[in-house]
Each structure stands twice: as C-alpha cells, then as structure tokens.
A and B are shown apart, each in its own frame.
Chain A
Amino acid sequence: MSHRVAVTGIGVVSSAGIGKEAYFKSCSRGLSGIKKCGLFPTEKLATDLFGEIDEGDFPPLCECPAGENRVKALMRPAVEEMMRDSEMDRAAIASYGPDLQLCFGTLVAISDGIAGYTARGKPAGWLEHVNDYLPWLRDFCGAEGGCWVSSAACAAGTTATGMAFDFIRNGLCRACIVGGADPLTESAAVGFHVLNALSGGMCNPYDEARDGINIGEGAAFFFFERLEDALRRHAYIYGEILGYGLTNDAYHITAPDPEGAAVARAMEDAVRDAGLNFSDVDHVNGHGTGTVINDQMELDAIDSASGGRKPSATSTKALIGHCMGASGALELAAVLLAIENEVYMPLPNLSHPVKTGVHIASRPYPCKIGIALSNSFAFAGNIASVLVGRYDG
C-alpha cells in the first residue's frame, strides 16, 4: 500500500538566520548571510567570504567529538524548532518505536573531529568517537528507530529526503525525522581552494560572470509523516514530498558531466516517481553553485527536460553559501517556505543571467508554486532530485 508523505515540521539554522522565519525573511529579501570568516585563517585562500553562522552560541571548530562540538550545536536548535513546529516532543517521537526512522545527510560532520584530532597531537580516545553525534542526535529527539546517514557528499541532504519519503510511502515506517547538518571547516575551505572552485567574491549562480562557490554551514530538520496521520492529528502541512530521483554521473570524481544526462535523468525520475510530467513543474531550486560548468550544465538539463513549459529556477547558494551535505536540507526548507509564502528566494548578485529558456530572477518573485524540484549534485558523481508539492487539502 502506498502512502502520501506530508511535511509537518521545519527547523532551520543558517548564516542568513536562526529559525525558519528569520531564514525565510532574510533570504526572500535577498539578504545574504555570507560574510568575512572568523573561524579560521583565510589570508592564503582565494576568499575570506563564507556562510559562517556568527549569531548565537556556537563552539569553535575542533572540539572533542564525544563532547559538545559545532555540528551538535548546529543541529540542536534546528531539531528543537522542528519538534516544536510539528508538536512532537521526545515522548511522542519515542512512542513510534521502530516505526519512526532518522534520515540524515552530512558530508563533513566527522571532519571537524578529525581536524581536532590532528591539531591536538592525535590523542587516544578521540578518533573512534567521530560518529558519536548520531547516537546523540537520536537521544536528543527521542527517536528509537534506525538512523540512515547519507554521506553522498553535497547530495547527502537531498538523498536523505528521498530515502525518508520512500520508506514512508512504501510502509517501511510511519514517520521520519529528516535533516542535514554540516559545520564550516577549514579542511573544506582549503580543499575547494586547491580545486580552484572558490569564488573570489560573492558567489553568483546562473550569472555569466560566475566564478565559483562560497562555502557555508547550517542545519535543517523536518518531520515527515503519513498524510493520513497528519490529518488525523490536525497537523499543519507545509507540503508533500511527491517523488525523488537518484543517479550517478559516472564521469569524474570531482567534475560534473557537462552533458548533464544524469542530472536530467534524476529530475525526470523524480517527476515520473510522482506520476507527473515535467511540464507540471513550476519551479526548480537548483544546485546552482556558481561554478562555470555546474550552472550551465544544470540549466541546459532543466531546459531540455522541461520541453515547452519552462519552470522558474533559483539557488540559495548566494544567500547562505554552499552548505555541503546540509545544502539539500536547507534548500528543501527554502522550497517549502517558498510554497507556503508564495514567493521564491532571489539571486541577489545576479546582473547578467546565463542565456536560457528557464526564468531566473534577481529579485523576490511572487508566484504560486504548485510543484517544485530541488536538486543536489556531488563529488563522486552522486545526483539527487526531490519533487515537492503544495498541499491544498
């Protein structure tokens, strides 16, 4: 038996705002959270601009993985907000037993622990604990079911969303806590620097003058449940997850296939999964990193897959940076909030849009979004696309 999957709670922590309302308020006005970095030295990097969260009480990097650290500190307020928002406390979540699973996406959650290990002279009793944030997360929210951690690099958050949707739809469980989190780390900054992928200024997705990414950090969490359960308990419904597609470029370990065939296929699979056509898609929250190859490839893939009716497209990367494995979760929040508020998040730095049939806007664009795709692409060729729908009762 197939179940419809409703999203009934959202929690967000980002450089553009702590909490879903602050996040949406800043982003929908085009106010970027990208700023000069204070977490690590940037003098020798291509940029000092990062989507760092400097509002609130977040520990510095390289703290012990078994104790309090930055990734846990990012997750805590996002999970708390999601629980409040969905009217689910620990006891309510625990009452599901194995019928509630955790689906989580991350890329660098353990990197911070590894950096701390090397910075402190490789102490014993440290390294084996780099995964300890997961039992902590489970305990913090009261989940008793399994924890599925997608580590498909920058596609991790969107992949976790798709998995959770599939589990509930096909009756493997009744509900999922879904999310993604990644801290801003020096290792990631240096890594993208040596790959020549960092922007020299503010990243500028879908612009002819785009020159690379700004790295960010953040967390977003959601409560997914069967639609019938949500209706029964009179939960507020942000929208429905309708389908998803996962593919792999099988092309290069860090560069996307410029032909974009696997990207187009993932989007088409997501739409087909929902029994819809691409012409039904109103909006695409793109991966839109601001790199030369990615953005052209992605727009071409959207253009070719969409046929006659072109959707609008945007990217949150200029607003919060590229939040690595958390980006898919933060972008899902952007899509759901755009559907709710009937305005999608703009591209604040856009001045010369790439020539494409897809509508790209630099300013907040009021529109009623019925069906939207959210895309994430990653190192090692992993691609994920999730289809989200407005719930009209």
Chain B
Amino acid sequence: MKPRDVAIKGIGPVSAQGTDAASVWNRLNGEIAETTGKLKGELEFTVNLPASRLRRVGRYSRLALAGALEAWKDAGIELDGISPFRRGSIFTTGYGSLVSNVTFSESVAKGDPNSCSPTLFAGTVANSCVGHVCMELNLKGVSTVLMGGNIFVYSKLLLDTDKADVIFAGAVEEYSQDLWHSLEKNEVASGVEINEATVVFVLEQVDEGTHDAYCVLGAGASVGLSGFPLITMIDPAMTKRTIKLALRDCVEKNKDKGDIDAVFSSSNGSYFDEVEERAIEEELPRSLIVSGVKGFLGETMGCAFSLNVAAAALCLKNRSIPLSLTRGGSYDADFRNLLVTGFDPAGNYHCLALRRLG
C-alpha cells in the first residue's frame, strides 16, 4: 500500500486581513482593497457559539476557538464519523495567555489570595486554548500546546504513524498591551509592525489524486538561533550559517519531490531580513523569494510561521503568488514546491516544504 500524504484540508484564520481563508486570499490577491496589515490593538472577531458557552472563556482561548471552528467549516469534514480519540489538537504560541498571566500576577501582588479569581488562574495556562477547543469539538486524541516547535512536523508525524485520523493544528498569539508597549521600546523590534493573530489548520491524510485540499505537507527542519531575532540582535554570520543548515536539511529531506520553486521567507522589515535573504540566495539560488507575507499580515511572533504556511497554502491552491507578496510582480508560473520559513520566540528557525496537490 502506498503511503498517504498529509494535507491541509481547512484553514481558519483570525488575522489583520480577514477571519476566513477566502477573505484573506481575496485581500492578498488585491480583489479587496486593503493594503496595510497594521493593527491598533485587538482584532475584532466573533466566535460562533452561544454566549453561555463562552462565559468563562478568556480572549486567548476565544481566538483559538474562532480559528478552530472556521477551519472545521472550511474543511467541510464530518467529525461524527471519526472517534473522538482519533481527533487530535496540536497548538503553538509564543507568549501564551500573557494578558491573563499579567492580570493574575497583579492580583496576587495585592496580598489577598482569597480575592484572586480561580477562573482567571485557569486561563493563565498556555494550553487553556486547546482545552476549550477540545471541549467544543470533542477532540480526545493526541493533544498538546507548544511554546516553541513546529506544529506541522509533529502533526504530520502523528498522522503518518497512525496516531490520529484528523488533527486541528493551530497557532495563537494574543494582543497584550504590556507586551506591545515593551516591544515598541525594544531597539530591534521598534520598527516592526506587530499584530495578534490566530490560524488553525485541519490536517488529514489524503489519497493520491485528491483535489479536496489546499496542499500537501512535506518534511520540515528546525534549528536553534541564539535568540529570538525580533527582540535580540543576533550575530549575522553565525545566523546565516544556521539558516543555511536548516534550509539544506529541509531540501535534503524533500529531494525526491523536485526543486523548490519559491521560498516564503520570514521577512518582517528588521535587520534579520537581509541575513535570511543572503542565506536563501546562497542555498537555493534558483528559487523565488516571497518576502511580503508579514508586510501584509504583520509580525505575529508565535503565530507567524503558521500564517506564512497559510499564505503559501493559499497560493498553492490558487496557483498564483500575488503581487502583494512578491513585491516584484505576481508569479503565475507552474510552481509545485514551496518552502516556508519562520522563527519563533523560543529562538527556533523552522522550514517546511509544501507541495501542490496532484
């Protein structure tokens, strides 16, 4: 029996450019005029659940719920036919539920434990987002939340080894006034447009020849940087060497699938762009560099790599890389293989290959 591929079946974004995949694509493609990804603070979004079910759900978890419900709708899959123990949930975040943590910490500092809220405390754990998603969708299978790591590589491994039939893989980064103010004063981050965002993917194994998905996940690679490049100036020469190591590792793992046509880079307008671009040019000289995703959606830290994957998946499905992303003309050639890169607040640099269906 031929091994089956793992595909992205649904995407549920909560982003500066829309709260469903079609809207985000239409904006990416210039069909809806909205060019700036800059937010003033919190995104506006709705969770399609009765208010009674959201009474004790913090905003951090609501972001995850909104993304998960939209991804489920977008995927169009029936969960009823899948055992709850075969439905997984693998999420990631950079700073977790920071708002709840700061608020709870302030209440603790007042010195009266009995006045502190147990509901708020429950919302301080980073995995609270996945708890609410699992309760709502009755996901009882493989489950965790990462604060650093590549949800696609791990989810693919779980699906490839028959530990799940479907996985909701998501990323959440919630706006925190405290963090955003601090970042504005950070010398490295101060020029970068930072946004909150969520994106959730429905991942499933598919048969060869399927057209009912965005794209297929290839292999990935992860290496360590000496810091989180958004907030720390890290040594360019060493960083370039590290990035090249990751790119080479990822290309090697995907070498039987053909050449990489384009690389969706992690470019955010900081010093890091040039370092990464040189590394990509040296390692993949024939690949187009697509550097405009964060210019469009903002730097979303723990969610950024996943949003970059979502943008690449939309391009693969629509067979076009729009002008808004390339900054040098739209790209409608017959591309099949994309490589997506990103870094996270744990100091990781990730690569992931995506392949067109069929």
Could you tell me if A151 and B56 are in contact, using CB atoms closer than 8 angstroms? no
Chain A positions 347 through 360: 1 when the CB is less than 8 Å from some CB of chain B, otherwise 0: 00000000000000
Distance in angstroms from B159 CB to nearest chain A CB is 12
How close is A249's CB to chain B, nearest CB, in angstroms? Answer: 7
Query: Of residues 346 to 393 in A, which have CB atoms within 8 Å of B's CB atoms?
Result: 378-384
Cα distance, A153 to B246, chains bound together (Å): 30
- Check B127–A382 contact: CB distance below 8 A: yes
Count: A-B pairs, CB below 8 Å: 257
Contact A44-B131, Cβ < 8 Å, known A124-B185, A134-B347, A148-B149: no
Residue of A nearest to B84 (CB): A250
What's the Cα separation between A206 and B224 when bound, in Å?
42
Closest to B179 in A: A127
Expressed in whole angstroms, the Cα–Cα distance for A155 and B143 within the complex equals 10
Contact digits for A153-179, partner B, Cβ 8 Å, 1 yes 0 no: 101000100010011001010000000
Q: Are B224 and A143 in contact (CB under 8 A)?
A: yes
Which residues of chain B are near A194, meaning CB under 8 Å? Answer: 113-114, 116-118, 121
Contacts of A251 in B (CB 8 A): 135
- In the complex formed, the residue of B with least CB distance to A46 is B113
Q: Which of B122, B157, B185 contacts A379, CB < 8 Å?
A: B122
A376 → chain B closest CB, angstroms: 11
Query: Contact at A144–B161, with CB atoms within 8 Å?
Result: no
Task: Say how far B51's CB is from chain A's closest CB, in angstroms.
Answer: 17
* A128 x B183 contact (CB < 8 A): yes
Q: A107-B125, A146-B224, A149-B147 are in contact. Are A128 and B105 (CB under 8 A)?
A: no
Whether A148 lies near B148 (C-beta < 8 A) is: yes
Known: A128-B189, A152-B143, A379-B128. A187 touches B149 (CB 8 A): no
Interface presence of B254 (CB below 8 A): no
* CB contact under 8 A between A130 and B127, given known A125-B182, A166-B161: no
A380 to B122, CA, bound (A): 8
Q: Does A200 contact B (CB under 8 A)?
A: no
Enumerate A112-157 residues with CB–CB distance to B below 8 Å. Answer: 114-115, 117-119, 122, 124-132, 134-135, 138-139, 143-153, 155
A307 lies within 8 A of chain B by Cβ: no
Among candidates B112, B147, B154, B176, residue contacting A163 with C-beta atoms closer than 8 Å: B154
Kindly list chain B residues whose C-beta atoms are within 8 Å of the C-beta of A126. 182
- A119 CB, nearest partner CB in chain B, Å: 6
Q: For the side of the interface on A, what is the size category?
A: 35 or more
Which residues does chain A contribute within 8 Å of B67, judged by CB atoms?
A: none
Task: Kindly provide the distance from the CB of B88 to the nearest chain A CB, expressed in whole angstroms.
Answer: 8
A209 in the interface (beta carbon within 8 A): no
- Given A146-B224, A194-B117, A382-B350 contact (CB < 8 Å): no
Contact with A along B321-342 (1 / 0, CB 8 A): 0000000000000000000000
Smallest CB gap from B103: residue in A = A118
Complex Cα distance, B134 from A153, in Å, reads: 15
Expressed in whole angstroms, the minimum distance between the Cβ of A185 and any Cβ of chain B is 9
* Distance in angstroms between the alpha carbons of A143 and B95 in the assembled complex: 23
Complex CA gap A107/B96 in Å reads 11
When distances are taken between beta carbons in the complex, the residues of chain B under 8 Å from A153 are 125-127
Interface-centre pick from B221, B228, B345 (highest chain A CB count, 10 A): B345
> CB-nearest residue of chain A relative to B104?
A187
Does residue A247 face the partner (Cβ distance < 8 Å to B)?
yes
A98 in the interface, Cβ–Cβ < 8 Å? yes
Q: Which 6 A-B pairs have the closest CB atoms?
A: A146-B222, A380-B131, A191-B121, A148-B149, A248-B143, A135-B347
Supply 20 A–B pairs (Cβ within 8 Å), ascending by A. Answer: A102-B224, A106-B147, A110-B95, A111-B101, A126-B182, A135-B347, A138-B224, A144-B223, A147-B148, A147-B347, A151-B146, A151-B147, A153-B126, A163-B144, A194-B118, A246-B142, A254-B118, A254-B122, A378-B127, A381-B131
